[in-house]
Amino acid sequence: MSIVNENFLRLDGRYLFQEIEKRVRAHTQSSPQARIIRMGIGDVTCPLVPCVISAMHRAVDDLSHADTFRGYGPERGYLWLREAIAQQDYASRGVVVSPNEIYVSDGAKSDTGNITDLFSPTAVVGIPDPVYPVYVDTNVMSGRTVIGLPSDEANDFVPLPPDDRRLDIVYLCYPNNPTGAVITREALTRWVDYALRTGTIILYDSAYEAFIRDAALPHSIFEIEGARHCAIEFRSFSKTAGFTGVRCAYTVIPHELHVTASNGASVRLSSLWERRQGCKFNGASYVSQRAAEAVCSPEGRAAVQAQTDHYLSTARMIRERLQQMGLRPCGGLHSPYVWAHTPEGMDSWTFFDLMLREAGVVVTPGEGFGACGRGRFRLSAFADADDAREAMDCMERVIKN
Ligand code: MLT
């Protein structure tokens, strides 16, 4: 009898970004002099903004003195941070979220993966394709059936709710990773209405909302009427404020959100999450939470806006250059990601290897995000702007040849 969770055997051998790293390492070992420009994983390159750095220094000072020292914090996050988030990220946009509905964590990657603990292994999960691979992998690990919801240029990368089958859970991520697409208020309302009608839970990942520059687009699913009864929202400071190395994020679970157990009892989802986190998590670090609090200050918000503007200008440049190369790009306007076609429909891993070997540029192969990513690739605009320009020159040279 097997004692391992055999669902893991259904996964690809490596997580997408581990496979990319393995190929990059093999290339640098065989060509140690080769220059590599990384535009694969969405990892930030700008340093932390000054008010965040000061807040972190102050937090370290707090930890250095007996009278201000902190040990374990509350596993759902310090109240001062949850209040700042409720005010700055929600109330300032007219959205009511209570600090008691906010759960601070060390990352949206962990939260979007860990939330699967709350649901039955028999739950049917709808996941757009292409998609951030964490959603699929973590559900496969739990043995769930995953239904792919194809998305492409024809539906503006926003799949319609299915009319032929019920989904228990659906993941939506906008601005989208990997395509950089956005969702309109109307399209999001269609999903909320569907979820309310069918009892579906929407897991809404808005980790990239800080890149939205069109006032008509929703930043939060809770801007949509009824969403408090059917949605959980995930947010992160990683891409907003350059926290990929600092680690701080949060999840919002409204008090109204209930599911029905098999005995007919109504269960509040937030109480299950509290139970889970109380057992498996000891909270984000005090220093990270003070840093996140600084991001919510007026000075922090202005600095973060300047930083996201900077990445967006790189994204626009990438988009324009790919357009000139005839690769039909999209995204990059309200997102740090640009999604494009490989030349002449080349297989996306073949294109990845070609770009690595001949152009010295790391892209992310579209197929790593799902079957609908075949013949596509993603570029991340988090690279240094000069490096990104050089990468475009190198790619163009190889593609022309
Ligand atoms: C990505 O490149 O898709 C992201 O950086 C991965 C992540 O946020 O975990």
**Looking at residue 345, what is its pLDDT?**
86
Spatial separation of the C-alpha atoms in residues 285 and 280, rounded to whole Å? 15
Ligand 1 neighbour 41 (Cβ under 6 A): yes
Percent of the chain with pLDDT over 90: 97
Residues contacting residue 65 through CB under 8 Å, at least 6 positions apart: none
SS3 85: helix
Q: Is the CB of 321 under 6 A from ligand 1?
A: no
Domains and their CATH numbers in the chain: 6-47+300-400 (3.90.1150.10), 50-297 (3.40.640.10)
For ligand 1, atom 1, which residue shows the shortest CA distance?
Answer: 42
Tell me the average pLDDT across 311-321: 98
Of ligand 1's atoms, which has the minimum distance to the CA of residue 244? 8
42 CA distance to ligand 1 middle (Å) = 5
pLDDT digits (tens, 9 = 90+) for 212-267: 999 999 999 999 999 999 999 999 999 999 999 999 999 999 999 999 999 999 99
Phi, psi of 154 (to 5 degrees): -65, -35
Prediction pTM value:
0.97
The amino acid present at 313, given as its one-letter code, is S
Instruction: State how far the alpha carbon of 158 is from the alpha carbons of 128, 179, 338, 374, in Å.
Output: 8, 10, 16, 18
Q: What integer pLDDT is reported at residue 165 of this predicted model?
A: 87
Amino acid at position 154, single letter: A
Binning the chain into helix, strand and coil, the percentages to the nearest 5 are 45, 15, 40
Q: What is the DSSP string of 133-167?
A: HHHHHHHHHTT-EEEEEE--GGGTT-PPPPSSS--
How many residues are given for the chain? 401
Averaged pLDDT, 337-349: 96
* Residues sharing a CB contact under 8 Å with residue 63, sequence separation 6 or more, in sequence order: 69, 70, 286, 287
Position 211 pLDDT exceeds 90: yes
Q: Cβ atoms within 10 A of the Cβ of 350, count?
A: 11
Report the DSSP beta bridge partners of residue 233: 204, 252
Atom of ligand 1 at shortest range from CA of 207: 8
Identify any residues that bridge with 225 across adjacent strands, giving them in sequence order. Answer: none
Most informative mutation of 43, 44, 132 for ligand 1 (most atoms within 8 A of CB): 132
123-140 pLDDT tens trace: 999 999 999 999 999 999
Q: Is the pLDDT of residue 1 over 80?
A: no
Q: pLDDT digit string (tens) for 41-83?
A: 999 999 999 999 999 999 999 999 999 999 999 999 999 999 9
Angle, alpha carbons 87-49-297 (nearest 5°) = 20
pLDDT higher than threshold 90 for residue 107: yes
Is the CB of 42 inside a 6 Å radius of any atom of ligand 1? yes
CA 134 to ligand 1: nearest atom: 9
Q: Distance between CA atoms of 2 and 5, rounded to whole angstroms?
A: 8
Mean pLDDT of the chain: 97
Q: State the closest ligand 1 atom to the C-alpha of 236, by its place in the atom list counted from 1.
A: 8
CB atoms within 10 A of CB 150: 14
- Return the structure tokens found at 161: 């709710």
CB neighbourhood size of 217 (10 A): 17
- Segment 371-396 shows an average pLDDT of 98
- In DSSP terms, 341 is beta-bridged to 376
Q: What residues have CB less than 8 Å from 22, skipping those under 6 apart?
A: 14
Alpha carbons 23 and 21: distance in angstroms, whole number:
5
